Amino acid sequence: MKPLALRQHATATGPVLRVTGDLDYDQAPVLRGRLDQLSLAPGQCLVLDLAGLEFCDSSGITALLAARQHALAAGADIVLAAVPANLLRVLTLVGLDQVFTLRPDSSAAS
């Protein structure tokens, strides 16, 4: 198991949060805690760059949905960028590819 690491940087359109490691039952609260501290303004776009995500279970998907709810509650948008193929397959199977905006990389997300 790889520990979850989160790195954030600001862009003109909003924050980009790079997620690396495993987003699982043990680590999902780490992402949720960071989101609770993340301030978003209406019209901004939160980008979750998942290029370094190695594993994501149902708790991780729930954390991604919580990120979406956090953004929408602030009047902001959310984009999942560089979604790994295995996670993209799961998101597609359960219809979440229709819920999230997906982009090939974080630079294409703004």
For the cut 60, the answer to whether the pLDDT of residue 110 exceeds it is no
Read off the CATH number of the domain in which 51 is found.
3.30.750.24
Per-residue confidence (pLDDT) for residue 107, from 0 to 100: 75
* pLDDT tens figures, 41-70: 999 999 999 999 999 999 999 999 999 999
Closest CA to 67 of 59, 78, 57: 78
CB neighbour list of residue 95: distance below 8 Å, 6 or more residues apart: none
- pLDDT tens for 30-47 read 999 999 999 999 999 999
Give the structural domain span for 53. Answer: 5-108
Instruction: Report the number of distinct structural domains present in the chain.
Output: 1
